[in-house]
Structure 1
Amino acid sequence: MRIQEFIVVEGKDDTIAVQRAVDADTIETNGSAISEETLRRIAHAQQLRGVIVFTDPDYPGRRIRAIIEQAVPDVKHAFLAKRKAIAKNGKKVGIEHASDEDIREALANVYTTTTTMLVEEITREDLMYAKLIGHPSAKARRDRLGDILNIGATNGKQLHKRLQMFKITVEQFVEAMHIIEQEEQNV
């Protein structure tokens, strides 16, 4: 599978994992201390062929993603569920620990954010009703929703923003919530 866009990853081990799974060029941020020079390279790559941000599903990865998104609007995003990125020893989380299949799946389900405000379709009240905020099982339900919609793990405030940014429709949201409800009934 050849990826047209440059894939932004955190480090050399992530590059190795991505290039093992797909035919792609990468740009490494060298961790969360992302430099202005690296941001300029990402902006240039965005103009040339486009960029997919594919960072680790942890706090530093989310921080890098936010820095890039602010500096280079309209980049695409690929997300990998944390459970798919845990090292065999269970102590580390990163793209480099994911299977080739999981990496290919994440890169096949990219999203483009929008810099224009959308009409809010899914409200915070909807999120409360769906037990995604303000409920004891909210975190687990948000994590599962993030997996199903391929938008990554979020807190309640981030979830509302990502649903808007990635233009998740009411129909997609309802379908994902139906899957979650079915899974919970089968437990």
Structure 2
Amino acid sequence: MKIKEVIVVEGKDDTKAIRRALDADTIETNGSAVSKETIEKIRHAQRKRGVIILTDPDFPGEKIRKTVSDNVPGCKHAFIDKEEAMGKGGKGVGVEHASPEAICLAIKATHTLTEEVKEVITKKELLDAGLIGGMHAARRRARLGQLLKIGYTNGKQLHKRLMMFQVSRKDFLKALEKVRQEEGQ
């Protein structure tokens, strides 16, 4: 599969994993302290071809994602689930450990942030649905993030990410229903 956009990744091992899965160009951030020069490269790529951010499903990866999207508006976002990015023997988590199939699925399910953010699902609804607080909230959020292709979030981030990606009420309720069915509720 040939990708028009340039994919932003963390390092050279991520680039190797991308190239095993896709015909695509990458820009490596080389860690979470993204340099001004790298931001300029990403801005240029965004103007010319578009950008997809695909970082590790961990805290540093989310920090990089936020830094890039704060400085380069209009980037698309792709997410790989933690389970799919787990190293052999549970050692490490990252794009470099993901299968070519997982990478392709993440790229196909990219999201573009919207400038106009409106609240479709309220925080109260998230609380009532057992996605914030409670014993199994983290597990429910993780599964919901997989189904909606928005990545894993903590309780505070979930509302923001749902708004950021303008997840529709219909899609949210459909995913929530699947989470409940899987739990036997």
State the TM-score, normalized to the length of structure 2: 0.98
Aligned equivalent of 1:175: 174
Report the counterpart of residue 138 of structure 1 in structure 2: 137
Q: Is the 8 A contact 2:7 2:52 kept in 1?
A: yes
TM superposition outliers: structure 1 runs of 4+ over 6 Å: none
Shift of 1:115: 2.1
For the residues of structure 1 that align with 2:40 and 2:115, how far apart are their CA atoms?
Answer: 19
Give the 5 Å matches for 1:68-87.
68-87=68-87
The number of residues matched between the two structures is 185
Tell me the CA shift for residue 74 of structure 1.
1.3
Superposition RMSD in Å: 0.9
Distance in 2 separating the partners of 1:116 and 1:22: 32
User: How many percent of aligned residue pairs carry the same amino acid?
Assistant: 55
Residues 150-174 of structure 1 show CA distances to partners (whole Å, capped at 9, x for unaligned) of 1000011111011011010000000
Alignment of 1:1-187 (within 5 A): 1-118=1-118, 120-185=119-184
1-structure distance, mates of 2:120, 2:8: 30
Q: CA deviation at 1:135?
A: 1.3
Q: Which residue identity lines up with residue 155 of structure 1 in the other structure?
A: N
User: Which SS does the other structure have where 1:132 is aligned?
Assistant: coil
Report the Cα offset of residue 44 of structure 1.
0.6
State the alpha-carbon separation in 2 of the partners of residues 143 and 70 from structure 1.
24
Q: TM-score, normalised by structure 1?
A: 0.97
Show structure 2 runs of 5+ residues with no match.
Answer: none
Q: How far apart, CA to CA, are the structure 1 residues paired with 2:148 and 2:55? A: 17
